[in-house]
């Protein structure tokens, strides 16, 4: 198949190129992550107006990563393919208002109704 060969050539040529560009691509990806963290940190609480802050954003991100690890570890033995969407649960440091952020969303913080 012609497309099969094209794919193989792309893979053979693309993989070394990807490895060569990794020292450039990785810092760009990390910088993009830092920019989105800072953008979220500047979000103001809808209830009290205080900035959420970097410390709370990073805490929520770590918590979501730990939850993702627990979920994947629980799914793999059952033969399920995990779909990774991390949800960060964020609390306003000023008033405790609850927000969440989905890692697959380009948007910002989403207010969560108190239960
Ligand atoms: Zn608040």
Domain with 82 in it: 2-111
With 80 as the cut, is the pLDDT of residue 106 above it?
A: no
Q: What residues does 89 pair with on adjacent strands? A: 100
Cα separation, 87 vs 89, in Å, equals 6
Res 71: pLDDT: 86
Instruction: Say how many Å lie between the CA of residue 94 and the centre of ligand 1.
Output: 5
Q: Quote the strand ranges of the chain, DSSP E.
A: 87-91, 98-102, 110-111
More confident residue, 61 or 71: 61
Instruction: Say how many Å lie between the CA of residue 91 and the centre of ligand 1.
Output: 8
11 burial level (CB within 10 Å; 0-12, 13-18, 19+): exposed
Which pair of tokens denotes residue 104?
Answer: 């697959």
Question: What is this structure's pTM?
Answer: 0.60
More confident residue, 88 or 17: 88
Domain count, the chain: 1
Neighbours of 112 (CB within 10 A): 13
In the structure, ligand 1 is a single-atom ion and the residues with CB under 5 Å from it are 45, 47-48, 92, 94-95, 97
The per-residue pLDDT for range 13-66, each reduced to its tens digit, is 776 777 778 777 887 888 778 888 999 999 999 999 999 999 999 999 999 999
Res 7: pLDDT: 67
Instruction: Say how many Å lie between the CA of residue 13 and the centre of ligand 1.
Output: 52
Instruction: Say how many Å lie between the CA of residue 44 and the centre of ligand 1.
Output: 8
Instruction: Say how many Å lie between the CA of residue 61 and the centre of ligand 1.
Output: 19
For residues 90 and 54, is the Cβ–Cβ distance under 8 A? Answer: no
Cα separation, 108 vs 101, in Å, equals 7
Instruction: Say how many Å lie between the CA of residue 96 and the centre of ligand 1.
Output: 6
């Amino acid at each position: 198949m012609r497309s099969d060969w094209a794919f193989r050539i792309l893979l053979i040529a693309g993989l070394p190129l990807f490895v060569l560009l990794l020292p450039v691509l990785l810092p760009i990806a990390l910088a993009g992550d830092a920019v989105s963290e800072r953008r979220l940190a500047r979000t103001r609480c809808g209830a009290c107006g205080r900035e959420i802050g970097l410390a709370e954003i990073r805490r929520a991100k770590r918590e979501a990563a730990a939850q993702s690890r627990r979920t994947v570890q629980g799914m793999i033995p059952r033969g399920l393919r995990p779909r990774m969407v991390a949800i960060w649960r964020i609390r306003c440091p000023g008033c405790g208002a609850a927000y969440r952020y989905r890692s697959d969303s380009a948007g910002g913080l989403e207010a969560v109704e108190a239960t």
